[in-house]
């Protein structure tokens, strides 16, 4: 396996931190970025010359450009971009404010685009590269109190699918990682944002979500280290997949969703096909 240079957003915790550690252990170079890079100082000390830890806030283009410039100056190129930074907003569609929804999309969608554009320019120039976008089973399904988070991940799915088509001529690959329940901090309510406006009519749904989070937190069936291993392995593939479902729960939810969707399409097939001029 040839050593590569990886740029990872949100490298301080969860999938980002685990992936960073595994890559460094295997001899890769890593541009491990975070809003508070000091939390990665131990890796900088442990792997001198192999890792840099620039500050990067996906909503701040200046910090993005500076981090990518530091990556170019240090390693000369970027082989793999991992768009991992993101967070979840909990609240029904009616409860979530315009500002809260915009912030959700600023980080999960526009932030991903802000980082990707300059890195893609480098990859086109070198005519190789791989973009890994952390989506979720939420990118394929939705739910009452996670609808806006799910919407942001649906957007990442569409962007990635179109991106893959546009950059294929430049030998740039794109892969969506779609985890289900993995033992990261995501189910910890301290790492989530809640809509400030709480409408009484939705109390039962909101409390049900909180109970579910308390129930699954720390007991999720998925091992995040295995997701990191899968990401590293698929980057070595000649023809990596556009999508990788991670976890049995993600596989079951996705396949059930598409079976239901296909059944709905087929039940209205004649009506759908009948909408033509009667010339």
12 noted as active-site residue: yes
Are the C-beta atoms of residues 178 and 133 closer than 8 Å to each other? Answer: no
Alpha-carbon span 207 to 230, nearest angstrom: 35
Are the C-beta atoms of residues 95 and 197 closer than 8 Å to each other? Answer: yes
Q: Which of 135, 136, 152, 160 is catalytic?
A: 135
Q: What 3-state class would DSSP assign to 6?
A: strand
Number of helical H runs and strand E runs in the chain: 10, 9
How far does the chain reach from its first CA to its final CA, in angstroms?
62
Alpha-carbon span 149 to 216, nearest angstrom: 18
Burial tier of 168 (Cβ tally within 10 Å: 0-12, 13-18, 19+): exposed
Alpha-carbon span 19 to 24, nearest angstrom: 9
277 noted as active-site residue: no
List Cβ neighbours of 239 (8 Å cut-off, separation of 6 or more): none
Q: Which of 4, 116, 152, 153 is catalytic?
A: 153
Burial tier of 78 (Cβ tally within 10 Å: 0-12, 13-18, 19+): buried
Alpha-carbon span 30 to 223, nearest angstrom: 22
Q: Which of 4, 47, 116, 149 is catalytic?
A: 149
Per-residue three-class SS string for 146-183: CHHHHHHHHHHHHHHHHHHHHHHHHCEEEEEEEECCEC
251 noted as active-site residue: no
149 noted as active-site residue: yes
Catalytic residues: 12, 135, 149, 153
């Amino acid at each position: 396996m040839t050593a590569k240079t990886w740029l990872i957003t949100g490298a301080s915790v969860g999938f980002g931190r685990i992936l960073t550690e595994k890559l460094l252990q295997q001899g890769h170079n890593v541009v491990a970025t975070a809003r508070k890079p000091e939390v990665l100082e131990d890796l900088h000390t442990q792997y001198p010359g192999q890792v840099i830890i620039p500050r990067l806030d996906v909503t701040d283009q200046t910090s993005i450009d500076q981090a990518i410039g530091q990556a170019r100056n240090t390693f000369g190129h970027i082989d793999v971009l991992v768009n991992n930074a993101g967070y979840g907003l909990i609240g029904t569609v009616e409860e979530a404010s315009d500002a809260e929804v915009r912030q959700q999309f600023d980080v999960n969608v526009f932030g991903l685009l802000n980082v990707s554009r300059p890195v893609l320019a480098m990859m086109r120039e070198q005519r190789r590269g791989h973009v890994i976008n952390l989506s979720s089973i939420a990118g394929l399904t939705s739910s009452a109190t996670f609808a806006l988070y799910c919407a942001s991940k649906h957007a990442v799915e569409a962007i990635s699918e179109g991106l893959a088509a546009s950059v294929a001529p430049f030998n740039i690959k794109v892969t969506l990682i779609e985890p289900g329940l993995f033992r990261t901090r995501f189910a910890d309510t301290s790492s989530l944002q809640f809509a400030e406006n709480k409408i009484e009519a939705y109390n039962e749904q909101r409390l049900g979500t909180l109970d579910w989070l308390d129930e699954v937190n720390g007991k999720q069936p998925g091992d995040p280290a295995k997701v990191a291993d899968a990401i590293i392995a698929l980057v070595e593939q000649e023809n990596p997949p556009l999508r990788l479902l991670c976890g049995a729960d993600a596989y079951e939810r996705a396949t059930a969703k598409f079976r239901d969707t296909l059944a709905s399409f087929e039940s209205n097939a004649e009506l759908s096909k009948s909408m033509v001029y009667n010339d």
